[in-house]
């Protein structure tokens, strides 16, 4: 079984397509729990109905699948504090 740190390393390559940060750094991926070949986590989005939600989820699921782990996830909205941090990071690193 992989450690939480090893799983974070595996998924840290999943970058936001429009922002030069990983989903983990942006706070979109959080509350990671590692079990027997399954990773449970939350996707925290700044707004409801994000059009690229499936793309972001798949960008985490695929590297996990490559190491024989499945993804079990929940979608939540960011807190005001998390959203503020996300918006600052988006402004700093927008690929636009």
Give the residue extent of every domain in the chain.
4-89
- The yes-or-no verdict on residue 82 having pLDDT over 90 is yes
- The yes-or-no verdict on residue 96 having pLDDT over 80 is no
Q: How far apart are CA 11 and CA 37, in angstroms?
A: 14
User: Considering only CA atoms, which of 95, 87, 96, 94 is closest in space to residue 26?
Assistant: 87
Confidence of residue 1 (pLDDT cuts 50, 70, 90): very high
Helix (H) or strand (E) holding 83: helix 80-93
Q: How far apart are CA 79 and CA 44, in angstroms?
A: 9
**pLDDT at residue 41, as a whole number:** 98
3-state secondary structure of 78: coil
Q: What is the value of pTM for the model shown?
A: 0.94
The CATH code of domain 4-89 reads: 3.30.300.130
Q: pLDDT tens digits for 25-77?
A: 999 999 999 999 999 999 999 999 999 999 999 999 999 999 999 999 999 99
Q: Sign of the C-alpha dihedral, residues 8, 10, 14, 20?
A: positive
Residue 23: is it exposed, middle or buried by C-beta count within 10 angstroms (0-12/13-18/19+)? buried
Q: Give me the mean pLDDT over the 6-27 stretch.
A: 96
What is the DSSP pairing of strand 38-45 with strand 70-77? parallel
């Amino acid at each position: 079984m992989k450690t939480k740190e090893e799983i974070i390393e595996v998924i840290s390559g999943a970058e936001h397509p429009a922002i030069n940060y990983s989903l983990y750094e942006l706070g979109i991926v959080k509350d990671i729990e590692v079990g027997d070949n399954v990773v449970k986590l939350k996707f925290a989005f700044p707004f409801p109905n994000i059009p690229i939600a499936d793309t972001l989820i798949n960008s985490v699921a695929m590297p996990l699948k490559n190491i024989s782990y499945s993804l079990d996830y929940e979608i939540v909205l960011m807190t005001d504090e998390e959203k503020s941090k996300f918006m600052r990071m988006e402004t700093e690193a927008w690929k636009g």
